[in-house]
Amino acid sequence: MKHSLFGVRSIRAALACLLAVVVASCGGGDSIPYTGAQVRPLSPEFTTRRAVAYSPYRTATSVDGLGAEVIPKTNIQEDLDLLLAAGFRLIRVFDSDDKVARQTLEVIRDNQLNLKMQLGVFIQRGADAANKANLARAVALANHPDFKDIILAVSVGNENMVTWSFNKIEPEIMAGYIKTVRDQITQPVTTDDNYLFWASAPTVVTDVIDFAALHTYAELDTYFDPTRWDWKFRNVPEAQRAVAMMDGAIAETKRQYQEGRDFLDRKGLSYIPIIVGETGWNAVDLGRLKFRAHPVNQKMYLDRLAAWAAESRAGNGPKAVFYFEAFDEPWKEGDDKWGLFNVERQARCAIQEINANNTPAGSATWVWEPGSCAEADALFFVEAIVKTPITVNNYVLYTDLAPGASEVRPTDLFWDAFDGNTAVGPEITSNYAPGDASRSLEITPRPAGFGWGFLRQARDITKTDNLSNYAVTGSLNFWISTTYPGKIEIGISTDTQDREPQEAYLQIQPGNYGYCNTGAWCQVSIPLKDFIAANPKLDLSLVLARFIIADVYSRTGNTPGSTAKLTIDAIHWSK
C-alpha cells in the first residue's frame, strides 16, 4: 500500500510502483478448471528464486524528469550484477517499455545472466489507447523467442483498483486488459493490488487471473491508518521496544495476507495461489515515519520476512514474497528510500552480510553504505519530553532591540525553507520595521509546484519549547512589508504526546489581523487561540515550528509562481 507524501497514493507513486524479493513458500496453483479459465501454475523457478522489483532510474528527481533520463545498458548491467551478487535471481519491472523492460531483457540475454523476470504493464486511467499499446508491447516481449524463457509471469496494472487509488481503473476494464494479455501468451498472468482489494476482489477479476499478487505495507499503515495496529508498544520497556515493533510489523503483514487468503477461500478459490507482491520498510524517514524508518529497522523487517517465507514452505502461507525495493529512486520524492541499495548503489544493512567481504560483483563494485548496523541502533517510539513552561511575557524569535526584562530568546533555532530551497531569507539593512532598527529578513519565494514556505524551528525535532502559558490570551506578532499578491499563510507546528506532529495555518489577506500588502510596513498580531481553532490537535507544550510564512496554492487559491519579496521583522510571541 504505497502512497504519496500527504495523501493516498498519487499517479506518481503508481508510476513508481514497487519492488520485490521472492522467497519460496507453498500455496495453490495446480491446473484446476474454474469458471473463468484453466489456472496456469507458477513456474518452480518463480517460487524458488529470490527476487526484487527493479528500476534503473538514478538521476531523475521528479516524475517529469523520467523521460529525459538516459539509461545506458552499462548501468543496467552494473545493477543486475549487484543483484546477482546479493543472491537475487528474479526481478520485477513495472512496464513493458523499451527504455527499461526491453533493455533489461537484452542485457540478461546478451550476458547470459542467471535472471528471470516478472514483466509489468503500466495502466493509466482514461488512457485506453496508450494502455492498449502497453498491452501489445507486453505480449510482444512475452512471446519474443529470446525473452520467452526469461519472462516467467506478467502483471497487468499496479494498485489500480483499491479504493484509495488515485489512478483508479474499474474492475471490468482491468479484467478486459488482463484477458487481452492472457489470451495471447502462455505465462501466468495477474494484477498487483493492495490487500484490501484482494479481501473483496470481484469475480470479474478473479475469473481471469492465474494467481493473486497482494501488497502489504504495515509500516505505511502506521501513518495512513494508525488505528490498524499499534506500533508504539508503550507498555514495553524501551530496551525491548524496537524488537516488539518489528515483531508486531511482521504479525500485521501476516494478518493482512490472511485477510486476502480467507476471502478467496470463502469464494471457493482456494486453488488460486497468493503471493505477497510487494512489501518493504523504509531505510530513511522522509517526513512521515519518525521512530520507524531506519536501515537497521529495514534489516529487522527483511529478516522476519525471510523467516515467515521459510515457515510458509511447509504451511499455508504465500507462494512467494516480493520485497520492495532494489535501489532508491529519487524521482519518487517523498516515496523514496525503500532500496536495499541506496541510489549510489551502496548496500544497506539488510543485505551487507550477503557479500560481507566486498567481493567484486561482475561489472560492479560492492560497497557498504556507511553507518552502524547494530540492532541497538534500531529506532523505536520514544515518549515526548515536556519542558518547564515558559513564563515570561515575550518569546522573541527575531529583533534588533536590546533584551527586555520579561522575555526569552531561544538560541538553537534556524530558518529553513519547505523542501530545503523554496525560499531564501537573508538579512538586509536597507529596510526594517518601525522602532526595530537596523535589520530585517527579506524573503524571496522560489516556489515549487505546490508553493513555498519559510519557517523558524529547531532542526532537532526533540527540541521543543513549552509555550502552553501563551495559549489562552497570547498572540503571534510580526511586522511585514510586501506587495505579494493574494493571500499569505502564517502557521505554527507542534509535536504531540502521540509523536504525530500537527500543523495549523491561517490564510490571511489584507485587513486580516492588521496585514497589508501595499509595500508599507504593517504589524500583524494573530491570537494563538485562532491557530488552535484551526487545528485542535496542536499541543503548545511541545512547539516545533515557532513561526511559518508560506503560500501553498491549494490552500490560498493564489495564482502559482509569484516571487514578490516579503520583508519581515520583530517576530515574537506575547502573553
pLDDT tens readout for residues 417-431: 999 999 999 999 999
Name the segment(s) of the chain with CATH classification 3.20.20.80: 11-377
DSSP 335: G
Task: Measure the CA–CA gap between 401 and 404, rounded to whole angstroms.
Answer: 8
pLDDT band per the 50, 70, 90 thresholds, residue 248:
very high
**How deeply is 356 buried, as exposed, middle or buried, from its count of CB atoms within 10 A (0-12, 13-18, 19+)?**
exposed
Looking only at the bridges linking them, the beta strands covering 274-278 and 407-408 are unpaired
For 376, other C-beta atoms within 10 Å of its C-beta total: 8
Q: Is the preceding peptide bond at 438 cis, omega within 30 degrees of 0?
A: yes
Task: Measure the CA–CA gap between 569 and 215, rounded to whole angstroms.
Answer: 50
308 and 254 Cβ atoms separated by less than 8 Å: yes
Cell for 451? 508553493
pLDDT band per the 50, 70, 90 thresholds, residue 147:
very high
| pLDDT at 31 (0 to 100) | 38
214 and 43 Cβ atoms separated by less than 8 Å: no
467 and 390 Cβ atoms separated by less than 8 Å: yes
Report the run of H or E that residue 80 belongs to, with start and end: helix 73-85
pTM here is 0.81
Q: Percent of the chain, pLDDT > 70?
A: 93
Task: Measure the CA–CA gap between 83 and 464, rounded to whole angstroms.
Answer: 43
| pLDDT at 331 (0 to 100) | 96
For 461, other C-beta atoms within 10 Å of its C-beta total: 12
Mean pLDDT of the chain: 92
pLDDT (tens digit, 9 = 90+) per residue, 263-292?
999 999 999 999 999 999 999 999 889 999
Q: Percent of the chain, pLDDT > 90?
A: 85
Task: Measure the CA–CA gap between 151 and 96, rounded to whole angstroms.
Answer: 11
Check whether 15 has a pLDDT greater than 70.
no
Looking only at the bridges linking them, the beta strands covering 189-194 and 212-215 are parallel
Q: Please give the CATH superfamily to which domain 11-377 belongs.
A: Glycosidases (3.20.20.80)
The CATH number fitting domain 394-574, selected from 3.40.980.10, 3.90.1300.10, 1.10.150.530, 2.60.120.430: 2.60.120.430
167 and 173 Cβ atoms separated by less than 8 Å: no
Task: Measure the CA–CA gap between 151 and 138, rounded to whole angstroms.
Answer: 10
| pLDDT at 354 (0 to 100) | 87
**191: helix, coil or strand?**
strand
Q: One-letter amino acid identity for 226?
A: P
Name the segment(s) of the chain with CATH classification 2.60.120.430: 394-574
**489: helix, coil or strand?**
strand
Nearby residues of 413 by Cβ (< 8 Å), 6 or more positions away: 397, 456, 457, 458, 546
**470: helix, coil or strand?**
helix
Closest among 455, 388, 449, 387 to 418, alpha carbons compared: 455
Report the run of H or E that residue 264 belongs to, with start and end: helix 238-266
Task: Measure the CA–CA gap between 560 and 208, rounded to whole angstroms.
Answer: 46
Half-sphere exposure of 249 (CA within 13 A, CB side): 29
Q: Is the dihedral of CA 233, 234, 235, 240 positive or negative?
A: positive
| pLDDT at 17 (0 to 100) | 36
DSSP 13: H
409 and 403 Cβ atoms separated by less than 8 Å: yes
506 and 475 Cβ atoms separated by less than 8 Å: no
Largest CA distance in the chain: 85
| pLDDT at 11 (0 to 100) | 37
| pLDDT at 460 (0 to 100) | 84
- Cell 512547539 belongs to 543
